Amino acid sequence: MLYTLLLLFFLFVTFLQILIWLLFPARWLWGKVEHAEQRHTPLLPVTVLICARNEAANLSKNLPIILAQHYSGSMEVLVIDDDSTDATPAVLAELQQKYPLLNTLRIHPKTHAGKKMALEQGIRAAKYPWLVFTDADCAPTSQSWLQHLLALVNVDQPSIVLGYAPMEKSGNWLNGWARFETIYTAMQYFSTAYMGWPFMGVGRNMAMHRSLFDAAGGFSSHLHITGGDDDLLVNSVAKGNNTHICTIPASFVYSPAKTTIKGWVAQKRRHITAGTGYKTWHNMVLGGVAFTHAVHYGLAVILCIVTPEWFKWVLLAYLVRQAVVVPVYARAFVRLRAQSLRPFIPFYDGVMAIWLGAVAPVLLLLGRKKQW
């Protein structure tokens, strides 16, 4: 009787997984393409914000790419130097001589862990009300990044544009998984925003009107959480009628993936801890997605071990789900320019179940503040 209930629960969870994939990522990926709806917005005055601490090397490499954007509207790039102790001030001073649109704000001394306090001062000091966020280790893939991102802005109301920030491809063994996990997360926040239920964004590539930041009370509601300067801010102000998504390849902003397990785990722990500050119903939905994904795989393994006579039913359910999710993944990889990952979809989808069902909960329980 117990095993029969387990089989029925497994089939039910598998059905829920199929439903989730069809209702969210599939509808986004086969829906109307975002850039077909561009409003050809007049070039808005924009401040690009980069909060940096001890990022001299990355600023030397990436900041000139941002400063060379083909954007004929009013623009400034504001780098907030969050009490750096390396050559960051010297690098910025040298670049300022070459690029008049580069402004800097030096924060000293540092009074709060993380970058929220420094970033808030930068937002207050920004010359223009439309803000674009990125990081020192990020590089736009084209000189039309800003133009594409801001073309989706609704000038009639304060709004948010969620861009895509993929990880650079490298030969490191961890890189494939890091890129897959980045796409998996992007599928979630792009598809929910497409459906009118936005819940997060990534601060490596995001635009927002400053009045939304003011309406949220800045970072005050989640200042006790070290991370989350991007996703928690979006979570607090994003709505279906003020949030847009931009997945035009020319608008992508690339950053290097972590190359060690220790570095990647530290990054994910920070993200998971920030996620605890999401709205309750967002966490319930995300928890349900993670639970059904993990349980689908977990029960499949258990049932194959304890009831081998039902193997064909377990295999059939697994294959039906794969028949749904593999084409969705594959289309996402094409849309987000990661075609090289397509042969590994079943493998990484299974690893994701382990991540969601075992590793992520442990990291949440062991979560601690990550110092900037």
Q: What integer is the mean pLDDT of 317-334?
A: 98
Q: What integer is the mean pLDDT of 277-295?
A: 95
Residue 242 has pLDDT above 70, yes or no: yes
Bridge-based pairing state of the strands 160-162 and 139-140? unpaired
Q: What's the rounded Cα separation, in Å, for the pair 47 and 123?
A: 9
pTM attached to this predicted model: 0.94
Q: What integer is the mean pLDDT of 56-79?
A: 96
Q: What integer is the mean pLDDT of 11-38?
A: 87
pLDDT of residue 283: 93
**Tens of pLDDT, residues 151-169:** 888 777 899 999 999 999 9
pLDDT of residue 372: 57
Q: In sequence order, what E strands does the chain have?
A: 46-52, 75-82, 102-107, 130-134, 139-140, 160-162, 206-209, 243-245, 253-254
Residue 135 has pLDDT above 50, yes or no: yes
Q: What rounded mean pLDDT belongs to the chain?
A: 92
Tokens in use for 66? 């941002």
CA-CA-CA-CA torsion sign (42, 242, 250, 119)? positive
Residue 200 has pLDDT above 90, yes or no: yes
Amino acid 164 reads: Y
Kindly report the backbone phi and psi dihedral angles of residue 255, in degrees, each rounded to the nearest multiple of 5, phi listed first. -140, 155
Tokens in use for 208? 């927002």
Higher pLDDT, 195 or 223: 195
Within a 10 A sphere around the Cβ of 229, how many other Cβ atoms?
Answer: 23
Whole-Å CA distances, 334 to 183, 329, 338, 348: 11, 9, 6, 16
Tokens in use for 189? 């926040």
Half-sphere exposure (Cβ direction) of 27: Cα atoms closer than 13 Å: 14
Instruction: Give me the residue spans of the domains in the chain.
Output: 2-28+281-365, 33-260
Tell how far CA 57 is from the center of its chain: 24
As a CATH number, domain 33-260 is 3.90.550.10
Q: Is 350 helix (H, G, I), strand (E, B) or coil?
A: helix
Tokens in use for 159? 């709004």
Instruction: Report the share of the chain in percent with pLDDT over 70.
Output: 96
Q: Residue 104: beta bridge partners?
A: 79
pLDDT of residue 265: 85
pLDDT of residue 294: 98
